[in-house]
Amino acid sequence: MNSIPPRQYQKLKQKFPDFVSAVENLGKTVRQQGPIDDKTAQLIQLAAAAAIRSEGAVHSHTKRALDTGASRDEIQHALMLLANTIGFPTVIAALSWVDDILGE
Whole-number Å distance between alpha carbons of 83 and 91: 6
pLDDT digits (tens, 9 = 90+) for 1-12: 556 777 888 999
Q: Is residue 48 classed exposed, middle or buried when 0-12, 13-18 and 19+ CB atoms within 10 A define those classes?
A: middle
Q: Is 82 helix (H, G, I), strand (E, B) or coil?
A: coil
**Residue 52, C-beta contacts closer than 8 angstroms, at least 6 positions apart:** none
Rounded distance, CA 75 to CA 27, Å? 20
Domain boundaries in the chain? Answer: 7-102
pLDDT in tens, 29-41: 998 899 999 999 9
- Choose which CATH entry (1.20.120.1770, 1.20.1290.10, 3.90.800.10, 3.40.50.2000) describes domain 7-102: 1.20.1290.10
- Residue range 43-99, pLDDT digits in tens: 999 999 999 999 999 999 999 999 999 999 999 999 999 999 999 999 999 999 999
